[in-house]
Structure 1
Amino acid sequence: MRTFLLSAATLTLLAACNPRPAVNPQAEFFAAFEPFCGQSFAAEIVEDNAPSDAWDHPLVVHIRDCEDDVIRMPLHVGDDRSRTWVLTKHDNYIDFQHIHLHEDGSPDDVSPYGGQTTNAGTSTMQSFPVDEASKTLFMENGLDVSVTNTWTIEFVDAETMAYELRRPGRIFRVHVDLSQPIDEPPPAWGYSGE
């Protein structure tokens, strides 16, 4: 019995002297993009309870820019190159914004919009409830229904990334096929190599 107690005490002391590094799910989530940086991938809508002809085109996600704290991913919908998803890592949260630009590079009236994480999330999934600035922007533009939006980006498995928009009565989910890079699309509208 004493041998067991001594061993347990020794293990406790050793653990205190050599603590395991703290896990940071948001840093791990950001790192999950690294193998795909600079590549483009086909995507498809896998769930949409309010389908629109505007989305009835080939989808391409270009994981274009991967910096230490910023990831920019243009989303091409057919010939429409107006959308870019932007993730920005801060000390205690990740900000996710949707940038919408017109073909001449000027911003859309409803841009940018998005939200920030409110918890640590996981290394494979982060959720972004709509932020106050976006709520104001939505209401100013007659999009009051969007003030309860939550967006999620998830690595479903090693070969699939998901983007999801959810609010009461609305679900829109896209899967990005990470297993097979495709040809890089033309630059997103307004992109100048920043």
Structure 2
Amino acid sequence: MKAILPILAVATLNAGCAATPSPADSRDQFMATLQGMCGQRFEGAQSYAVDPNNEFAGKKISTQVNCSAADIRMPVQVGEDRSRTWIFTRPQAGLELRHDHRYPDGKPHKVTMYGGMAKEGGTARSQAFLADKYTADLVPGAETNVWTVTLSEDGKTLTYRLERHAKPRAEFVLQRMPG
């Protein structure tokens, strides 16, 4: 009987460990949140910019969430300009945001595919992406860029924020459109 008790105790501990779920990865949760937004359209405007006279000033900004098995793409329209797309992917190395910029004929812009990987500590509704080496080499001064993409708890507001050198540089606030 004495020999059985330690075995039962170990079996009970192991069963308890097996039943304890591992913490969910916030990067997977964020991608699932974006997947849940497939087909939704958001419109808004720039809410902040270091340079108030930049190319986004006074223009309507819109995007629609387009999903595939490989990625989530959010083409961004600024006024009549449709040259930008935010691309979210979940490679084995983490969660990635890229900015795809194109000329009107569809050819890649010379400054394109910049971005980086999500840093630790994100949530299912908000992730911050740190500029990678490619971005630092491509865009002078962007080595400290952090892009934060957040969806409000009610799913109605999408916020895209850029910081550089730990200071706000630009922010867009977009509202979900009906239908």
Fraction of identical pairs, as percent = 28
1:1-194 alignment runs, 5 A limit? 15-55=16-56, 56-63=58-65, 65-138=66-139, 144-158=140-154, 159-168=156-165, 169-178=167-176, 180-181=177-178
* 1:128–1:53 distance in 2 versus 1, CA, 3 Å: closer
SS at match of 2:123: coil
Deviations 1:16-41 (A, max 9, x none): 24122431111110111233212322
Q: Check the 8 A contact 1:93/1:120 in 2, yes or no.
A: no
Q: Check the 8 A contact 2:35/2:72 in 1, yes or no.
A: no
Cα drift, residue 53 of structure 1: 4.5
Q: Check the 8 A contact 1:41/1:181 in 2, yes or no.
A: no
How many residues are matched?
167
Cα drift, residue 167 of structure 1: 0.9
SS at match of 2:69: coil
Aligned-residue CA RMSD in angstroms? 2.2
TM-score (norm 2): 0.83
Q: Check the 8 A contact 1:135/1:147 in 2, yes or no.
A: yes
TM-score (norm 1): 0.77
Distance 1:155 1:167 in 2: 21
- Runs of 5+ consecutive residues of structure 1 not aligned to the other structure: 1-8, 139-143, 183-194
Cα drift, residue 120 of structure 1: 4.9
- Runs of 5+ consecutive residues of structure 2 not aligned to the other structure: 1-8
